[in-house]
Chains A and B, each alone.
Chain A
Amino acid sequence: MSCHEIQMYLTAYVDDALEIDKRNRVEQHLRQCYDCQALVKELQQTTALVFEQLNRTVAPINFEDSVMQQIAGVYQERQVRRFSIFYLACALIGIGGFAAVLLSPVGTFIRVLFHLFLAVLNGLSFVPASLGHWWMVCILLSTIVLVGSSIFGVSRVLRSLQSEVVL
């Protein structure tokens, strides 16, 4: 191979990135060609210098903090999105479930129960009106009975406790 052809491979040779047969051919040429040897030396120097210099570059101070601040924003945004999706899904499932129940035979049963409940309420609301002023007397009497019996009960409990302590 000519010097020109060999030189195309010299950077890869310096970087140790040649397949074995190509490297052998390059090395064979280098043994007999001082020009190419000189170029290899220069490329090695250039490579060492460039690598050393560029590897010295470091990120600015506070770089990490700025990145993590932005990451925190992204994280929050993501959590909010996750929760809103969760709530939306729950709401959809709830509404869907309710609709399904209402449309099913169970729904009919629930509707009947609901109507029954309404009817009972309605009926109860007529009780005071039909009794006239007597319902007030009924409530008053039952209250007196309740209060009296509870006072009696409490006093008995207190007395029994006292007698236990004395004994």
Chain B
Amino acid sequence: MNQNDIDLIRHARKGSTEAFTAIVRNYKNFVYRTVLAILQNRQDSEDVAQEVFIKAYRALAGLRDARTFPSWLAQIATRTALDFIQSKRKNQTVELDSEKFVVNDDIHRAANIRLDLENALGHLSEEHRVVTILRVNGFDYEEIAQILGIPIGTVRSRLHNARMHLRQLLQDERGDNG
């Protein structure tokens, strides 16, 4: 995180909308990527990623230290995405979506298109997707533990299991395509 971002956050905290626009510009890919990795659905992810920024805007005054902004934002993003899955599950529309995914998967396989990694990530559990995307976003193990409020040992084992699973998926894919 550079000094420019820290200044932007300080200005946004004082109420500058221009500064917040710049923050959105600088962090939109980070937030969208995190949410998409968890939700595995582009349409929902766009809405949820927007919601993340609205929440961040509303809560920005409560952020004590501007330097902790990335982990703070990542925490909002993961919580909002996980809450979204929860509420969707309650409304039971998630069934429909997973069906859609199976169809998608079949189309991919039928057309012999290389199974891309976004879909590979979709084969992991929520917990594994969350730790993996946080790691991809450049957080270290301790930061991930803080963001998720879990012990560092749990982070280590989840990341390891996720990575082993991904390795397996990539191997299967190579095997399938000859």
Contact = CB atoms under 8 A, between A and B. Distances in A.
A151 B160 CA distance: 107
Interface stretch (B1-9, B29-37, B67-75, B105-113): B29-37
Contacts of B53: 67, 71
Contacts of A75: 17
A71 B20 contact: yes
Interface string B144-178: 00000000000011011001101100110000000
A67 B50 CA distance: 6
Contacts of A67: 24, 28, 50, 53-54
Contacts of A9: 156, 160
A75 to B, nearest CB: 6
Interface string B129-155: 000110110001100000000000000
B46 interface: yes
Contacts, number: 104
A74 B33 CA distance: 24
B77 interface: no
A70 to B, nearest CB: 6
A47 interface: yes
Contacts of B120: 50
Nearest to B36: A57
Contacts of B140: 17
A5 B121 CA distance: 26
B37 A54 contact: yes
Assign chain A's interface to a size class. 20 to 34
A30 to B, nearest CB: 16
Given A46-B170, A50-B132, A75-B17, A12 B141 contact: yes
Interface of B: 17, 20-21, 24-25, 28-29, 31-33, 36-37, 42, 46, 49-50, 53-54, 57-58, 116-118, 120-121, 132-133, 135-136, 140-141, 156-157, 159-160, 163-164, 166-167, 170-171
Interface of A: 8-12, 14-15, 17, 42-43, 45-47, 49-51, 53-55, 57-60, 63-64, 66-68, 70-72, 74-75
18 contacts: A12-B141, A12-B160, A46-B163, A50-B117, A50-B120, A50-B132, A53-B117, A53-B118, A54-B33, A54-B37, A57-B29, A57-B37, A57-B118, A60-B32, A63-B32, A67-B28, A71-B20, A72-B17
Closest 10 CB pairs of A and B: A59-B32, A53-B117, A11-B160, A59-B28, A46-B167, A57-B33, A11-B163, A17-B141, A54-B136, A67-B53
